Amino acid sequence: MHQEVFFEDLGNRKYKEVWAYQESLLSENSAIKASYRNQNEIPVQDWPTKNHLLFVEHPPVYTLGKNGNRSNVLVSDEQLKVLGIEYFHINRGGDITYHGLQQVVGYPIVDLDKFKPDLGWYLRSLEEVIIQVLAEYGLKGERSAGETGVWLDPHDPFVARKICAMGIKCSRWITMHGFALNVNTDLSHFEFIVPCGIQGKTVTSLEKELGRKVDYEAVKQKIKKHFETIFDCELVY
């Protein structure tokens, strides 16, 4: 069933502010589902939950997943302050990652009961969106067995590198958090963490792979186009 997804580009916003906004959207949908759960005569597809897709560019910040290991942050809290990088231990899956300027961060807050209540399907679909975007730049994005996100050359341990990290939370089949695609991102900030808690694999960006600055706004347009196709939805502005 073709779904509507309300789209917002939040521009450059601090992480904590957008995290709170995500939580509020998830809470609204959760409250709706709680109020309808005993109304068996109304199909779940007809419950008035709203789907959202948020785009944002964060100032430098490290976020650690709920089961992540703080030791994967290689600098102290005092050093983080000197570097000007914020740090949050949050409620998504996955380990440590970095968000920064010229990185497209996407947060889908969607009701999977209106798509497909299957987290594996959802994550593979998010990955496919990014894989299709990379293909437009002549890059072969791939999945790495047992590791969420999108990679280049994942089967070669000597050159495998991640270009898009992913981590989500799901409650009552409502998602939050999402993906982070490196466009013209300052990759030096990844040197202070073990990205995603995976030893021995590096991180890359569109700029690094293509050898040139990439139009940031054009990347966002491509993500939106492929999101609509892969999720069979229409973005509403």
- Beta-strand ranges (E) seen in 40-195 are 51-57, 61-64, 86-89, 96-99, 103-109, 142-144, 147-152, 161-171, 174-182
Task: Count other C-beta atoms under 10 Å from residue 215's C-beta.
Answer: 12
Name the pTM for this structure: 0.94
Distance CA 67, CA 204 (A): 24
- Position 199 scores a pLDDT of 61
- Position 205 scores a pLDDT of 98
Alpha-carbon separation of residue 234 from 78, 85, 221 (angstroms):
45, 36, 14
Alpha-carbon separation of residue 227 from 58, 75, 98, 122, 154 (angstroms):
21, 36, 23, 12, 23
- Position 65 scores a pLDDT of 87
- Position 178 scores a pLDDT of 96
pLDDT in tens, the chain (237 residues): 689 999 999 999 999 999 999 999 999 999 999 999 878 788 888 899 999 999 999 999 999 888 888 888 898 989 999 999 999 998 887 788 899 999 999 999 999 999 999 999 999 999 999 999 999 999 999 999 888 899 999 999 899 999 999 999 999 999 999 999 999 999 999 988 876 555 667 899 999 999 999 999 999 999 999 999 999 999 999
List, for residues 176-221, the tens digit of each pLDDT value: 999 999 999 999 999 888 765 556 678 999 999 999 999 999 999 9
For 147, the 3-state DSSP assignment is strand
162 φ, ψ to 5°? -95, 135
- Position 2 scores a pLDDT of 85
- Position 196 scores a pLDDT of 57
What is the dihedral sign for C-alpha 173, 11, 84, 203?
A: positive
**Residues known to be catalytic:** 196
C-beta separation of 134 from 154 below 8 A: no
Task: Count other C-beta atoms under 10 Å from residue 98's C-beta.
Answer: 25
